[in-house]
Structure 1
């Protein structure tokens, strides 16, 4: 028997329950892992309350990320052995697999080896954040040294990873935040500049960039605010929208108003479900972890028995960095 977080209806954190479940042996292409730490993501909150882009099948599990140890290897799996320390990357639907538990089955294709220098807590804070930033800024955005990169909602784990990724490339990260009390923490995290809600964003971006605007904007919020972002992007620049935290309609800039601006939406699955792109991303992230360029920021940890409290804390938006659940 194992322990797993389950829920039977949509709702707030109170719907989450820790239950006894039978885990079984891994099937073809699967691994069974003993979980040591779990990284929480905003997507899981949205999946739990019914606002994600697909709906749960009840009873449902949760969890895209984990760090742990391989306990059993399914038929046809190569490159993994019992005892290997690993990380789980978001490369599956939550209706198929879930990582909120002490022992879980995961697809081997969604599993990567964990560098010995990286703790379970750090490993649980890595893959969603850094692969999301890598895919948008490196694979799709082709960010270059010297480019100015706007990172909105930058105190999230993805935002902080994007700051570090921009610096790793040699670009100039400009962060935004809703509250002034997070400004210094973002500067300490490596942001070259921080713009707080209430400031005139296009004017500040033009001021920072000497009038040209940023080359890339990386935004998880969407909604009407993308128009102000677009005004601060340089000719030939890119607006990459990777989330929908604002549920209102998103008026993506049109060709008439912004003729030299390209806009696109982006999801992490573009990277994690393509074996070649994922291999490049894993190599990029592991190199950054090994050299110390990438340092996952863990804001707060909870025990698995405190999963509802962990979700409440995420919904408070008080965190700077990743919320991690230990097992």
Structure 2
């Protein structure tokens, strides 16, 4: 039956910024849902690279400590706040909200996504942050079209694998970059047409030119940053678009407008925490939910460990030893 939620819950917190070792499993007061909110008994929580940056103090550094990490989870609604339909209680849901590395979390009721019985909590926990990022990269930022070519760096990561699937559904040609053969196989299984394996003598840009007959790609999606930036710009076709949505290898160099003129290319950024129009975000959530439910979109689970092993999850994610989605299972 699980524990009775009458006292302090277990949660992962950190009291000072630092390495994965600062993460502690502690007793924390149970949250209470406010107006328009529900409380969720968490079954699985998603782990994202941004969580490691927060822990290191590189992101959201002004948030007071100690802090519970996390931004998405799947579980069962066990309580509703004022103004929320009580019929939510007992439903399996996915939510994107802070402080999800815990046995209990609260989330806005109008942003919940119901999770079908045939989809696991672990898969659900891996959907929203990376899935919404992938969806908006393709539909909102790139406005990718059938027949276009897109280069996706870190193609075997959580966002990468989802972006490949969504791009292929649109009829795009997908090129990906990875660091080893196992990751290359995963990218191909997700639908990538061609995959570049780092470590050889050839550069990414030369490879892209060979694949595209010298034309380049219309879109590059880059979450790596410093180490891939130059090759991303070189890989673009005239009037191409480079979208930055992360900096796993470090912040990319400043963009010189003069350097963009020769090919009339553009550079932009995407961040999931930007205020999105409600109707657009609702449409994106609904689309992802339908694709996951139908089996048309698959969340590739990489590392799945118990909540108490959050430090290991962070360590493996930072050293790029993981593929797909990293998830914390909550007993």
How high is the TM-score relative to the length of structure 2? 0.90
How much has 1:106 moved relative to structure 2? 2.3
Q: How does 1:165-176 map to 2 (within 5 A)?
A: 165-176=166-177
Summarize the Cα distance change of 1:110–1:13 in structure 2 as closer, same or farther, 3 Å threshold: farther
How much has 1:82 moved relative to structure 2? 0.7
| Aligned twin of 2:271 | 267
Matched position secondary structure for 2:155: coil
| Aligned twin of 2:319 | 316
Segments of 4+ moved more than 4 angstroms: none
| Aligned twin of 1:76 | 83
How high is the TM-score relative to the length of structure 1? 0.91
Contact 1:174–1:194 under 8 Å retained in 2: yes
Question: In the TM superposition, what whole-angstrom CA distance separates every residue of 1:248-273 from its partner, at most 9, and x where no partner exists?
Answer: 442335344444211101111237x4
Q: How does 1:1-327 map to 2 (within 5 A)?
A: 1=7, 2-77=9-84, 81-89=88-96, 97-197=98-198, 198=200, 199-223=202-226, 225-252=228-255, 254-258=257-261, 259-270=263-274, 273-327=276-330
How much has 1:79 moved relative to structure 2? 9.1
Contact 1:224–1:250 under 8 Å retained in 2: no
How much has 1:142 moved relative to structure 2? 0.8
Q: In structure 2, how many angstroms separate the alpha carbons of the residues matched to 1:157 and 1:139? A: 19
Aligned residues: 320
| Aligned twin of 2:3 | none
How much has 1:161 moved relative to structure 2? 0.7
Matched position secondary structure for 1:35: strand
Alpha-carbon RMSD across the aligned residues, in angstroms, is: 2.0
Q: In structure 1, how many angstroms separate the alpha carbons of the residues matched to 2:22 and 2:299? A: 29
Contact 1:89–1:112 under 8 Å retained in 2: no
How much has 1:238 moved relative to structure 2? 0.9
Name structure 1 gaps, 5 residues minimum. Answer: 91-96
Q: In structure 1, how many angstroms separate the alpha carbons of the residues matched to 2:94 and 2:172? A: 28
